[in-house]
Amino acid sequence: MAGVSVRALRRIPLARLLAAAEVLVVARQHYLKLAPDERRRFLTLIRRGRGRPSNLSKKERMELAALIAKAEPRLFAQLIVERLAGVKLPTGNQNRRRPSSQ
């Protein structure tokens, strides 16, 4: 762990460290769904954008969106919630609209 002192780690509760580790494991699994050339391109676009979509061209934004979609962000979020909360989320039609309250 470059740059992180042992003393700083001792101040973080063990549960938070375990939760962070769970997130990293699931994130790595989803990142590895991309081919090696796609992973390189993903990182290039992330660096170029520096957190702001306006720093990318429209074509680059569309390419980044396609790469993110391929990594299945909805499944990623579902797995994180299930692992951290310990509760299975209902599966079903995620594209279904909720009834509006009138």
How far is 64 from 49, CA to CA, in rounded Å? Answer: 10
Q: pLDDT digit of tens for each residue in the chain (102 aa)?
A: 556 677 766 777 877 888 888 899 999 998 999 999 999 999 999 999 998 989 999 999 999 999 999 989 888 888 888 888 877 767 766 565 666 655
Residue 7 lies in a domain: no
pLDDT of residue 19: 85
Q: How many domains does the chain have?
A: 1
Residue 65 lies in a domain: yes
At residue 41, what is the residue type?
Answer: R
Beta carbons of 64 and 45 less than 8 angstroms apart: yes
At residue 40, what is the residue type?
Answer: R
**Torsion from C-alpha of 48, 54, 57, 62, nearest 10 degrees:** 90
The DSSP code for 55 is: G
How far is 56 from 72, CA to CA, in rounded Å? Answer: 22
Domain of 56, in residue numbers: 14-85
Residue 97 lies in a domain: no
